[in-house]
A and B are shown apart, each in its own frame.
Chain A
Amino acid sequence: MKAILRLAPWRVVGRRGPALGTGLLFATAASGVLLMACSAWLIAKAALRPSIAALHVAIAGVRFFGLARAVSRYLERLVVHDVTLRASGAWRAKLARGLAPLGPGRLGTSGDLLARVVADVEELEAAYPRLLAPMAAAALATAGVGAFLATRGPALAIAWAAAVLAAGVIAPLLVLKLTRAGEARRVARRATLHARLADGIRGLPDLVAFGRGRDHADEVAALAREMAADERRGARGALAGTALAGASADLCVVALLALAIPLVRAGELDGIQLAVIALVALAGFEVVAPLAAAFRVRGGIEAAAARIAALLEAEPAVRDPDAPEVAGPGRRVEARGLRFAYEDGFGRRAKPVACALDGLDLVLERGRVVALVGPSGAGKSTLVQLLLRAHDVAPGQLLLDGVDVRRLAAAELRKRLAVASVRDHVFAGTLAENLRLAAPDADDARLWDALERAELAAFARGLPEQLATWVGEHGVALSGGERQRLVLARALLRDAPVRLLDEPTAHLDAETARRVLARLFAERESECCATLIVSHRLAGLEAADEIVVLDRGRVVERGRWEALVSAGGAFARALAEERGAAALDGRISSDSE
């Protein structure tokens, strides 16, 4: 409960909303109790056949509380939802603010962690409407009923307290105890089941080709049955609690009557009160009864809250120096003997993997384009990540205008970089919003210019609402090539002195790729920036000022295109290979025309 309370709505949206929601919840319960009290008093009194005037107040009470309950219930649902949405929005903003400094190094590139956070915030949304507000309202309402009963006889109040304890405290805790371990197991099993299903769908060609499709489906069905068994156990545990809560409510009424009848007989209690007591007690339990069922989700909410709290307190992967130096204009980036090994790369990978970079020397200068090429896994993208300060460099140096990047504020450093990578995210939003992330003040003309330079303008003109077209989730689906060009356009729009383009031509057909690269080389003449192109494809890089060939973190060759071709080394062989493949895939048709 501590974790939930630490992330309770009143920590972020003030006390008024949450208090009002709880108050309305209490008002609904109180109106229900008073409606039943007035009704019971009305007919009990009427049975004694008084004058009609004696009943007027009760009749008015019945009408008033009847209306009041419906109205306050409606308002309560609105306010509780409002508070919940406000709070979860505030926590999202806090997380966005708090997670950013952790940097890509801690957040990971696979998106698993972030997906988890998103799910956790959603889970946390249930805390206020299902636990916190009902618990507070139930405490208030039961105390009120208890006080009323105490005026009728102390024994009645004691019986009431015992029943409330059973239905509102013991039953929920019983549910929690009976279901907590099972719920955790169920959630884990569900994750496994979903992962297996997804795995089977994505890998279906392999499964079917090897005749293992049916086995896989059987396995999923078996997992589904095991999960059903988990759910069944959880359901039973929860039902034991709700049955206890229900029985204690009804038995409480019996006990109250058993205690009240002698009081009536002894003349200590008006007979009219018997009906009132019974109906008030029944109505009073309406706010207590749902607590038992709600405690089934408490374990899950607590775990989610604990994870969010831990994340908000996590140590960043990279720390800014206490007194950062002033960053230069970004004319020159230099790597000296740069080494880097991913510690714990992805998921459960147990030990450090082979060096991603093993002694890299490289210079980027304004007006020059350097191409970093090599097979996948050669460490090409690592340099980009290190420049972005996703991780700290251990041995070797990375300098911006002669200053070690570790002595600069990360934000200042990143201001000088324009990055486009295959891992970059396209946000759910309009095309213009996606582009303006890089330059908030850019007008439409500049956006179109960037799209033109990234060879995406023709595509954008064909969209139903052009720049205002919604892309990403819930919008127009982009192909891999379109995404890549959008990311590139965003980087070009940024006007930063250092451009780091990680596979800018991935997913593009050969002709488009060539045009994109030709434009990049043409812009070199304007001396606008230093450019690094990371690529596994060689075609189109002929004009690079330097080509650095990387293999397993080491530089195996470097130089200009012609020199590398005539050297006949790894680069020349790879180029021949690539051209052969291009010939097979494209040239048969072009030659035959």
Chain B
Amino acid sequence: MIDRRLWPRGARERLALAGAVGFGLLAGLAAVGQAFGLSRLIDFAFLGGADRAAAAGWLTLLALAAVARAVSGAAGEACAQELSIRTRAELRGRLAHHLVALGPHRVAGERAGELVRTATVGVEALDATLSQYLPQAMLAALVPLVILAAVYAADPLSALVLFVTLPLVPLFTALVGSLAAARTAEQWRTLGRLSARLLDGLHGLPTLVALGRAEDHADEVGRTAERLRAAAMRVLRVAFLSGFVLELLATIGTALLAVQVGLRLLHGHVEFAPALFVLLLAPEFYKPLRALGASFHAAMPGRDAAARIFALLETPASDASGGRCLVAPADGPAQGVAFEGVCFTYAGGRTALDGATFVLPAGRMTALAGPSGAGKSTAAALLLRFLEPAAGRIAVDGQALADLEAEAWRRRIAWVPQRPHLFAGTARENLLLARPGAAAGELERAAALARFDEVLAELPRGWDTPLGEAGARLSSGQAQRLALARAFLRDAPLLILDEPTAHLDPALQARLSEATRELCRGRTALVVAHRLETLASADHVVVLEAGRVVEQGVPRELRAAGGRFATLWGTP
């Protein structure tokens, strides 16, 4: 039931669990003391005829036991919550770091939504498992034993009654549980679908309004909710049986004990005080088991979540940290970058690069051209070291890129993606991503160079306008200018630019092209080209097809040579 990997790892977590169990035991002992005091006091006053003054000692003891029980119970609870709080905070931090280590290729894209759910809602779902189920499972194994020992000391026969009912608890629960599991696997699926549909109905309301179906839909929601209820009740009728069995055993055990000691009292086989003592302890004996049964349901979602979280944490991080960890040459590529027979195949089996050999001359702009799927973006991702080549190598000034430390290498790169991610934060913070700590003047200059100042002028609060999910949305042209501004601010010797596909606004397009040309000036640049004009203005062109280089060279010469590039150029 509990994922072993959830077991506390740090010293503080272990201490918290020990505290939860220790204080829980202490509360159990206090309950024993309380029962003892109560039984003695009542015996004393009932059969012994003592008055209040004579009973004062017992009363004081009882009051102390009551306070001790409340305090140790609360302390145990505090420790259990501390365990959950700490473990979840630690898991969140570990997940955040591990996701970064896994790298963009394995994290972004289609899996992003699922990963976000695992790291957020998934971690939340562990709370019940950690703060309730885990400590209660341990207490359920220990506290009944303590009470059994106390009962044995007072009246061995009663201890035997409790002892006999004890193994019935897990036995019956397991029996009912397996019955329920077999009957409900299919129904859980139905439940999942129905509740998804209910959630979905509200999300899609604007669409339903447009289709004129909102009114019918409200009825449909009612019907779906009714079906969900019926299905859920079918599941619960069985699922609650395990709780019922537990409850039944607990009360029957208590009743059995009461009748048994009652009859023995009648015949004088047992004294009143121990009889009352064991009767008071009977509910305490079953209490941890009942609590465990109750938290079993609450801990269900945590089971799934733990499996997903640990599967993610155990995915090995990408090996892009670098083999020999040499420091990259300080001024970036002085002699250029060479792709030497580079191959790369995606996990799905699609070969993106198949022995690509080409150069990026230092200080020049190289345009990558080719049909979609030819491997252009893969080449850019390899150069960014989001991916590592399966075969062949990339050389920087003759040194293997794989031998450089990835972080140090990326410090020499400015990247302009097709569509930059806008982080929740102001426009300023989004630009500062490229160079934290840049001065205001530098920001202004980068913005002006990228024509991002025009965008800022349109934003309601300029630099302080919030962007991202909850903030202002930028059009693709505006976002593109932000990406360019980031690159200007970065001021790195190597530029990797994924050109956006055509904008319908030619005036803006012209301004963007101009800014891009300025950005490339004096830098070693790799531009994934989507526009003919870009090819014409490149210093060097590499034409890729199905992962191989079919042509490369200076545009003018390639046109004269009459190859693929020339054909392409000939088309309007």
Contact = CB atoms under 8 A, between A and B. Distances in A.
The listed residue with most B CB atoms (<10 A of its CB), out of A66, A265, A346, A551, is A66
Contact of B205 (A100, A351, A576): A100
B562 interface: no
Interface string B195-228: 0111111111111111111111111011011101
Contacts of A203: 108, 421-423
Contacts of A246: 69-70, 73-74
B350 interface: no
B469 interface: yes
Contact of A214 (B85, B100, B201): B100
A580 interface: yes
14 contacts: A69-B251, A74-B240, A100-B205, A118-B199, A221-B97, A247-B67, A254-B62, A258-B59, A261-B50, A262-B51, A264-B46, A347-B466, A347-B469, A349-B471
Nearest to B76: A239
Interface stretch (A151-159, A271-279, A359-367, A394-402): A271-279
Contacts of B160: none
A82 B272 contact: no
B564 A200 contact: no
B315 interface: no
Interface string A220-241: 1100110110011001100110
Listed residue (A81, A236, A275, A348) with the most chain B CB atoms within 10 angstroms of its CB:
A275
A473 interface: yes
B262 A59 contact: yes
Interface stretch (B164-172, B303-311, B327-335, B524-532): B524-532
B140 to A, nearest CB: 18
A574 B504 contact: yes
A85 interface: yes
A221 B370 contact: no
A375 interface: yes
A577 B96 contact: no
Interface in A109-129: 109, 111-112, 114-115, 117-118
Contacts of A97: 214-215, 218
A78 interface: yes
Chain B contact residues, majority secondary structure: helix
A36 to B, nearest CB: 8
B63 A251 contact: yes
A235 B78 contact: yes
Nearest to A552: B505
B46 A224 contact: no
A417 B503 CA distance: 30
Contacts of A348: 466, 470-471
A470 interface: yes
Contact of B262 (A58, A272, A374, A437): A58
Interface in B353-404: 369-372, 374, 384, 386
B299 interface: no
A70 B251 contact: yes
A88 B233 contact: no
B255 interface: yes
Nearest to B50: A261
B89 A224 contact: yes
B96 A220 contact: yes
B533 A580 contact: yes
User: Size band of the B side of the interface?
Assistant: 35 or more
B86 interface: yes
A371 interface: no
Given A65-B255, A89-B229, A97-B218, 12 more contacts: A39-B254, A92-B201, A228-B89, A243-B70, A254-B63, A279-B279, A346-B472, A428-B200, A490-B211, A494-B211, A577-B502, A588-B545
A347 B470 contact: yes
A64 to B, nearest CB: 9
A195 B279 CA distance: 54
A162 interface: no
A530 B564 CA distance: 44
A216 B200 contact: no
A67 B217 CA distance: 45
B89 A225 contact: yes
A585 interface: yes
Contacts of B243: 73-74, 77
A495 to B, nearest CB: 12
Interface stretch (B37-45, B141-149, B179-187, B444-452): B37-45
Contact of B421 (A190, A206, A214, A278): A206
Contacts of B558: none
A437 B46 contact: no
Interface stretch (B1-9, B340-348, B409-417, B515-523): B409-417
Interface string B62-94: 110111011101100110011001101110110
Given A474-B192, A588-B371, A103 B209 contact: yes
B157 interface: no
B203 to A, nearest CB: 5
Contact of B258 (A42, A67, A193, A247): A42
A243 B45 contact: no
Contacts of B491: none
Interface in B21-49: 34, 38, 41-42, 45-47, 49
B45 A46 contact: no
A93 B120 contact: no
B116 A262 contact: no
A323 interface: no
A591 to B, nearest CB: 5
Contacts of A425: 200, 203-204, 206-208
B217 to A, nearest CB: 6
A100 B217 CA distance: 10
A70 B272 contact: no
Contact of A62 (B66, B208, B259): B259
A563 B455 CA distance: 33
A407 B241 CA distance: 60
Among A93, A244, A421, the most chain B Cβ lie within 10 Å of the Cβ of A93
Nearest to B213: A437
A78 B233 contact: yes
A209 B384 contact: yes
Nearest to B87: A228
A63 B255 contact: yes
A522 interface: no
Given A210-B490, A227-B89, A581-B502, A375 B508 contact: yes
Nearest to B458: A354
Interface stretch (A47-55, A140-148, A174-182, A325-333): A47-55
Contacts of A321: none
B477 interface: yes
Contacts of A351: 460
Listed from nearest, the 7 A-B pairs whose CB atoms lie closest are A89-B225, A250-B66, A203-B421, A221-B93, A425-B204, A100-B214, A247-B70
B128 interface: no
A390 B207 CA distance: 11
Given A47-B275, A578-B502, A201 B119 contact: yes
Contacts of B325: none
B272 A573 contact: no
B258 A43 contact: yes
Interface string B115-153: 110011000100000000000000000000000000000
B10 to A, nearest CB: 13
Contacts of B103: 204, 208
B438 interface: no
A205 B503 CA distance: 23
Contacts of B465: 349
A199 B424 contact: yes
A242 B69 CA distance: 12
Contact of B202 (A92, A214, A260, A421): A92
B247 A73 contact: yes
A488 interface: no
B202 A99 contact: yes
Interface string A550-593: 01000000000000000000100110111111011111110110
Contact of B410 (A209, A240, A354): A209
